[in-house]
Chain A
Amino acid sequence: MIELRGVTVELGGRPVVDRVDAVVADGEWLALIGPNGAGKTTLLRAIARLVPFAGQILLGGRPVADLSRGELARLVAVVPQEPSTPPWMTVAEYVLLGRTPHLGPLAREGARDRDAAARSLARLDLLPFADRRLGTLSGGEKQRVVVARALAQEARIVLLDEPTAALDIGHQQQALELLDGLREESGLTLVAAMHDLTLAAQYADRMLLLDAGRVVADGSPGDVLTEAAIAQHYGAAIDVVLVGDRLAVVPRRQARGNT
């Protein structure tokens, strides 16, 4: 369980995340949505303790401030929006880096670590890629490799920053299906900053709408995604429609000169 209590992050003297309260249950998929600059990425960084914050963040009841770097990394894995993928590194080497929090600073990977990496590669259908260099992979393949590294970390919580930003619509669906499958199988808790509201509505259990660092709506996609809220916080004209049993957000072009 992740508990956020009055979490505030100031960058350059300005609050980028402003007194955020929220609770994420184990096994839940929470989508962080909001316009550019709303503080989604910064909030994720605060949970991973990559940026100083005021207030409290508790993981399973323990304040993150009390955890060592290694302990924190065994609880929380991060999939950054633009991960650094050294082109000379092989897929196997990269995924093995996910074992770092389980090794002492001087240790080498052992059989257990190779096992965990192989499982995570197998889970993402990446075993045939094990010896490929990262520089030779496509964007979609790279994304899977980064998820595989996070999985090899064996953390219960995975934070994802725009996991589908660089992918085409087919790979977006694949990536999110994959994450959802992992969540079901392994009971992962997922917190993902997402721009695509339709995809967010289709996969997330819950949404947290941020604007200017504040939580302005928190609830199921049906509660959060209203035409009024999107108009107010994104400045966008949209229709919310039902596709199957899930919501979809469709932009609506207004006639020119009408406003």
Chain B
Amino acid sequence: MTVAAEHASEVRARGLSPLWACSAVAFLVLSLAVGVLAGPVDLGVGAVLESAAARLQLPGFSTSLSETEEAILWEIRVPRVVLAALVGAMLALAGATYQGVFRNPLADPYLLGVAAGAGLGATIAIAYLPDGLRGQRMLPVAAFVGGAVAVMLTYAVGRSARRERDAATLVLAGVTVSAFFTAWQTFVQQQNSETLQEVYSWILGNIPSTGWSDVILILPYVAVATVVILALRRVVDVLNLGDDEAASLGVDVRRVRLVLIVAATLGTAAAVAVTGLIGFVGIIVPHTIRLLTGVGYRALLPLSVVIGAGFLVLADVVARTAIAPGEIPLGVVTAFFGAPFFALVLRTTRGGSS
């Protein structure tokens, strides 16, 4: 008993080690700085800091930027960087959550049909809505509704299954619903071939330079999803033992899984609605963290938020500067740079730490 008492302080779960937490935050800060400073107009570090200080009403600071430069900084670059960070954080967090809940390393945020549903919603908006309505930014709404409907349908199909209602059944339902919505989307697209280019570029994803409106649009969803998932992060480790063992440890598996899935899916649907389908982030970010640190979900989930945000900000910098003034679709950048990087991580990490 006394021996145990002495050791009690050593018996703890590895949470966020200070080293990894600081490294992750440093990476995010660096990415944000690069994101704000990079662009066709060179604003300069000092001027940007002065402008920020002036905005924060710090005494003795005034901006040295022109009115146009101020607008570029605060109405275009900063909101775009913030939007990329929000979407990256959400996709990485949702991917990690799905991998834990479904005990499937290949699970990504699009597993339950969000992508196919949002794709159909976006295609319908592009094909049928008059330009005037689209001018009022109906596309994100249509994509969000499509994504949410698809996942609800997945859940209904999964629940109606007469076999055991486990996670695998839900994944099968997701595959089914995805196939159906994709077929429908392809049909609409074929009937309206003039929309091909626009639909295709939406599917490959990009961060729009639309100022703060998109940030405000998705912020509530991303914030709620993040708070809910991070609050339940210990339970994700328990779920990862499988349904039976989690239940025998006192977890109401079906309810907790539903809450986690709803949170991850709503956040993803909101993100996808404004940026299109950005692939690979939800898989590569959590796995890279896992391979490098070997931590459980309680640490993996918050790290995914921070690293995912930084990763997508950097990817967006590449997307908008590499062939400026043109833009590379963001999904192309995340996969083109993400895949070799991930291959490198796979090569250099040893099995013991996975």
Does any Cβ of B come within 8 Å of A167's Cβ? no
Given contacts A69-B250, A73-B249, A108-B234, contact A115 B13 (CB under 8 A): no
Residue pair A95, B11 in contact (C-beta under 8 Å): yes
Given contacts A80-B244, A133-B352, contact A127 B250 (CB under 8 A): no
Contact partner, A50, options B10, B247, B353, Cβ 8 Å: B247
Residue pair A101, B8 in contact (C-beta under 8 Å): no
Q: Which residues of A contact B14 (CB under 8 A)?
A: 90, 93
Contact partner, B250, options A89, A100, A136, Cβ 8 Å: A100
Contact partner, B296, options A72, A84, A89, A118, Cβ 8 Å: A89
CB-nearest residue of chain A to B243? A50
Give the CA-CA distance A109 to B238 in the complex, in Å. Answer: 13
Does any Cβ of B come within 8 Å of A153's Cβ? yes
Contact partner, B244, options A50, A115, A118, A130, Cβ 8 Å: A50
Q: How far is the CB of B351 from chain A (nearest CB, A)?
A: 8
**Contact code string B218-241 (vs A, CB < 8 Å = 1, else 0):** 000000000000011011011011
B window 6-49: CB within 8 A of A: 7-14
**Contact code string A103-137 (vs B, CB < 8 Å = 1, else 0):** 10111110100110111011100010011010110
Q: Which residues of A contact B5 (CB under 8 A)?
A: 115, 118
Q: How far is the CB of A21 from chain B (nearest CB, A)?
A: 24
Contact partner, B245, options A78, A89, A107, A118, Cβ 8 Å: A78
Does any Cβ of B come within 8 Å of A77's Cβ? yes
In this complex, the member of A45, A105, A115 whose beta carbon has the largest number of chain B beta carbons within 10 angstroms is A105
Contact partner, A111, options B8, B10, B354, Cβ 8 Å: B8
Q: How far is the CB of A163 from chain B (nearest CB, A)?
A: 15
Q: Which residues of B contact A135 (CB under 8 A)?
A: 352
Residue pair A130, B352 in contact (C-beta under 8 Å): no
Give the CA-CA distance A107 to B251 in the complex, in Å. Answer: 13
Q: Which residues of A contact B211 (CB under 8 A)?
A: none
CB-nearest residue of chain B to A122? B4
Q: Which residues of A contact B7 (CB under 8 A)?
A: 118, 121-122, 127, 130
Does any Cβ of B come within 8 Å of A70's Cβ? yes
Q: How far is the CB of A115 from chain B (nearest CB, A)?
A: 5
Residue pair A100, B249 in contact (C-beta under 8 Å): yes
Give the CA-CA distance A97 to B232 in the complex, in Å. Answer: 14
Give the CA-CA distance A256 to B247 in the complex, in Å. Answer: 49
Give the CA-CA distance A25 to B7 in the complex, in Å. Answer: 35
CB-nearest residue of chain B to A48? B248
Does any Cβ of B come within 8 Å of A213's Cβ? no
Does any Cβ of B come within 8 Å of A87's Cβ? yes
Residue pair A88, B242 in contact (C-beta under 8 Å): no
Residue pair A136, B352 in contact (C-beta under 8 Å): yes
Given contacts A78-B248, A88-B290, contact A121 B235 (CB under 8 A): no
Does any Cβ of A come within 8 Å of B217's Cβ? no
Given contacts A50-B247, A78-B248, A117-B11, contact A88 B4 (CB under 8 A): no
Q: Which residues of B contact A98 (CB under 8 A)?
A: 249
Does any Cβ of A come within 8 Å of B171's Cβ? no
Does any Cβ of A come within 8 Å of B256's Cβ? yes
Given contacts A48-B248, A92-B13, contact A105 B256 (CB under 8 A): yes
Residue pair A93, B232 in contact (C-beta under 8 Å): no
Number of A residues whose C-beta is below 8 Å from B?
51
Residue pair B11, A92 in contact (C-beta under 8 Å): yes
Residue pair B13, A93 in contact (C-beta under 8 Å): yes
Residue pair A118, B247 in contact (C-beta under 8 Å): no
Residue pair B13, A96 in contact (C-beta under 8 Å): yes
Q: Which residues of A contact B256 (CB under 8 A)?
A: 105
Does any Cβ of A come within 8 Å of B327's Cβ? no
Does any Cβ of A come within 8 Å of B252's Cβ? yes
Does any Cβ of A come within 8 Å of B338's Cβ? no
Contact partner, A114, options B11, B231, B240, Cβ 8 Å: B11
Does any Cβ of A come within 8 Å of B1's Cβ? yes
Q: Which residues of A contact B12 (CB under 8 A)?
A: 92, 96, 109, 114
Give the CA-CA distance A198 to B252 in the complex, in Å. Answer: 38
Give the CA-CA distance A135 to B10 in the complex, in Å. Answer: 20
B window 243-278: CB within 8 A of A: 244-245, 247-252, 256
Q: Which residues of B contact A87 (CB under 8 A)?
A: 354
Q: How far is the CB of A11 from chain B (nearest CB, A)?
A: 10
Residue pair A69, B247 in contact (C-beta under 8 Å): yes
Give the CA-CA distance A119 to B4 in the complex, in Å. Answer: 5
Give the CA-CA distance A115 to B251 in the complex, in Å. Answer: 22
Q: How far is the CB of B236 from chain A (nearest CB, A)?
A: 11
Does any Cβ of B come within 8 Å of A190's Cβ? no
In this complex, the member of B8, B231, B251 whose beta carbon has the largest number of chain A beta carbons within 10 angstroms is B8
Does any Cβ of A come within 8 Å of B58's Cβ? no
Q: Which residues of A contact B296 (CB under 8 A)?
A: 86, 88-89, 93
CB-nearest residue of chain A to B353? A88
Residue pair A121, B4 in contact (C-beta under 8 Å): yes
What are 5 A-B interface contacts by the 8 Å CB criterion? A77-B248, A101-B249, A106-B232, A119-B1, A131-B10
Question: Which residues of A line the B interface, CB within 8 A?
Answer: 45, 48-50, 68-70, 72-74, 76-78, 80, 83-84, 86-90, 92-93, 95-98, 100-101, 103, 105-109, 111, 114-115, 117-119, 121-123, 127, 130-131, 133, 135-136, 153
Question: Which residues of B line the A interface, CB within 8 A?
Answer: 1, 3-5, 7-14, 231-232, 234-235, 237-238, 240-242, 244-245, 247-252, 256, 290, 294-296, 352-354
Given contacts A78-B245, A108-B234, 15 further A-B contacts (CB under 8 A): A48-B248, A69-B252, A74-B250, A80-B248, A84-B240, A84-B242, A90-B14, A93-B13, A95-B11, A97-B237, A106-B232, A114-B12, A127-B7, A130-B7, A135-B352
